Amino acid sequence: EPEVTQTPSHQVTQMGQEVILRCVPISNHLYFYWYRQILGQKVEFLVSFYNNEISEKSEIFDDQFSVERPDGSNFTLKIRSTKLEDSAMYFCASTRSNEKLFFGSGTQLSVL
Amino acid sequence: RKEVEQDPGPFNVPEGATVAFNCTYSNSASQSFFWYRQDCRKEPKLLMSVYSSGNEDGRFTAQLNRASQYISLLIRDSKLSDSATYLCVVNHGQNFVFGPGTRLSVLP
């Protein structure tokens, strides 16, 4: 069964550093998403991406964040100048027809 | 008002019990509705879509009331393996909005 894959599974970084979280969505999917979940809290929408551009973003997704689809398979989330409060699980998700969101297993980001 | 609200939980029930979760959403333009389950420190996984006519999948029954902007999930004959957090998810446009989740613990 096709699945969304995310790398790395864990990322530890120093405050102020840049991190890139990587995702390979399911191959025939058209809509891509990043969500984050701070420990013990709800799943929060960050950004959606369709047709090679951002279609919607939340208040969380400020200038510190950017997304890119550099080729036909990868979908990346870049976080510049990380802060302690960026520590969270980051989930990538994709869907073919804007129904039934499929998630990757997440990247646990720890900012020290 | 929050976009998607759920019973705060947690629900602690014995094996074999029937349990119901409630969810309300604020955006009347919402188009599609889902229940996901999330195990501790894992990704959310789709449990079932929710259709206007109501739908059933084995021990799970979901219902939608668009007029009241209300969604429910009923789990019959609870199993230990049903222990998880249940997430109500609402889609409008290209944004899937998650509720805070209701935690269920099924006890032996």
Task: Report the pLDDT value the prediction gives residue B29, as an integer from 0 to 100.
Answer: 87
CB-based contact, B67 to chain A, within 8 Å: no
Inter-chain contact A102–B46, Cβ cutoff 8 Å? yes
The one-letter code for the residue type at A67 is V
Average pLDDT for chain A: 94
CB B86 within 8 A of CB B73: yes
Give the nearest chain B residue to A95 (CA atoms).
B94
Q: How far is B17 from chain A (nearest CA, A)?
A: 26
- Give contacts of A103 with chain B, Cβ < 8 Å: 43-45
Q: In this model, does residue B16 exceed pLDDT 80? A: yes
Q: How far is A86 from chain B (nearest CA, A)?
A: 17
Helix (H) and strand (E) counts in chain A: 0, 11
Task: Report the pLDDT value the prediction gives residue B9, as an integer from 0 to 100.
Answer: 86
Q: What percent of chain A has pLDDT over 90?
A: 85
Beta strands in chain B (DSSP E): 4-6, 11-14, 19-25, 32-38, 45-50, 55-57, 60-65, 70-75, 84-92, 95-98, 102-107
Q: What is the pLDDT of residues B87-108, one digit of tens each?
A: 999 997 778 999 999 999 999 9
- Give contacts of A100 with chain B, Cβ < 8 Å: 34, 46, 49
CB-based contact, B89 to chain A, within 8 Å: yes
Q: In this model, does residue B1 exceed pLDDT 70? A: no
Please, which residues have CB within 8 angstroms of residue B21's CB and are 6 or more apart in sequence? B6, B7, B11, B35, B72, B73, B74, B75, B86, B88, B102, B104
Q: What percent of chain A has pLDDT over 70?
A: 99
Q: In this model, does residue A107 exceed pLDDT 90? A: yes
Q: What is the pLDDT of residues A45-83, one digit of tens each?
A: 999 999 889 999 999 999 999 999 988 789 999 999 999
Q: How much is the average pLDDT of B49-77?
A: 94
Inter-chain contact A43–B91, Cβ cutoff 8 Å? no
Inter-chain contact A105–B42, Cβ cutoff 8 Å? yes
Task: Report the pLDDT value the prediction gives residue A70, as an integer from 0 to 100.
Answer: 84
Q: How far is A60 from chain B (nearest CA, A)?
A: 14
Inter-chain contact B98–A35, Cβ cutoff 8 Å? yes
